[in-house]
Amino acid sequence: MKPIEMKDLQNLKSNYDKKPVQQALKRVLMKNDLANLFDKQEQRPLTQFRFSNEIKTMSVTYQKQSGRCWIFAGLNVLREIIAKKYDIKSTVLLLEVTKDQADLFKRYWTQLKLNPGAFNILGGNCSTHASEAFIDAKILTKGIPGLDTPNNLYKQLSEKYIGKCQTFSGYIGVRNKGRDLYDLVVE
């Protein structure tokens, strides 16, 4: 095997630069998020927006508008241990929304994860950002009324979606049925 020399690299670059397809691909790669590039549009109708791992968890906690999400996230491990010890249960609200609404919500939340900005440091809390995602997805038309709390967001959603939502309380998780299908498990 012969060593790669500078002239070999220059030759490869010259050949690469001569191909219009390579230049177009380079522009696409530079201007787009890789997750969007590799998203198979033909697979979207087959996608189930459900969790694949069973995670027993609790309901959200009230943190006011403190910007302390990161503290709450870090303490959730301890919270789960205490919940089991003292038999504390979770609540989940399932909403019936359109596929477009689900896609818009997922897109907003994915973008927030990819580019959180000052989310982890300044202003607003997780309820604020969840509310913004619901508004962007056309699930809600306005922010959380009253104090910006998870409980008020829950109340706002459950009142707007009367007959199109279900509330479950207990130890909550999901069970994989195969083929991207899952059952909600409430114990």
Which tokens sit at 142? Answer: 């306005």
Q: pTM score > 0.75 for this model?
A: no
Contact 130, 143 (CB under 8 A): no
Checking if the pLDDT of 129 tops 70, the result is yes
Averaged pLDDT for residues 5-22: 87
Q: What is the pLDDT of residue 187?
A: 75
Checking if the pLDDT of 159 tops 70, the result is yes
DSSP 65-83: TS--HHHHHHHHHHHHHHH
Q: What is the pLDDT of residue 138?
A: 92
For 32-58, what is each residue's pLDDT tens digit? 776 677 777 777 666 665 556 655 666
- What average pLDDT does the structure give for the chain? 76
Checking if the pLDDT of 185 tops 70, the result is yes
Question: CA 58, CA 170: separation in Å to the nearest integer?
Answer: 8
**In the chain, what are the domain boundaries?**
6-46, 69-186
Q: What is the pLDDT of residue 180?
A: 63
Which tokens sit at 52? Answer: 């694949």
Checking if the pLDDT of 122 tops 50, the result is no
Question: CA 153, CA 132: separation in Å to the nearest integer?
Answer: 11
